[in-house]
Amino acid sequence: MPMLIVLAGLMGAAGIWLAAASAHARPGLNLEVAGSMLLIHAAAVIGLVAVVAHGIPFRPLALLASGGLVLGASLFAGDLAMRAYMGVRLFPGAAPAGGFILLFSWLAVAISGLVTLASR
């Protein structure tokens, strides 16, 4: 779990960097979307780690979902940033893959809560 906190902190810092770049250095290139994606999911990862520490959701699935949020947001934002700064994609389909990983990770969060509810 500490590594998830480290990754969330790096995501948050990158999100701030991209938000600033979208306002000052590279406006109009979707960097604000990339920054928001990282910031929102960094906070979500920290929140998930906190509730897992208190035993609220089903731990294995919630931790898997946390990792998915890190990976999905990083792929999505990384692809947008690569396009803005380098003019190329991270790899073909990186942003949609990141989006699908985020979608399934959020569903895993919901299921981890349902598992806990069902076990009570």
Reported as a pLDDT band with limits 50, 70 and 90, residue 29 is: confident
pLDDT in tens, 40-90: 999 999 999 999 999 889 999 999 999 999 999 999 999 999 999 999 999
Q: What is the pTM of this model?
A: 0.92
Q: What is the pLDDT of residue 37?
A: 96
* Domains: count for the chain: 1
Query: Is a pLDDT exceeding 90 seen at residue 25?
Result: no
Residue 16's domain comprises 2-118
**pLDDT, mean of residues 98-118:** 96
- Percent of the chain predicted with pLDDT > 90: 86
Pairs from 84-92 (Cβ < 8 Å, separation ≥ 24): 84/21, 84/26, 84/29, 84/30, 84/31, 84/34, 85/26
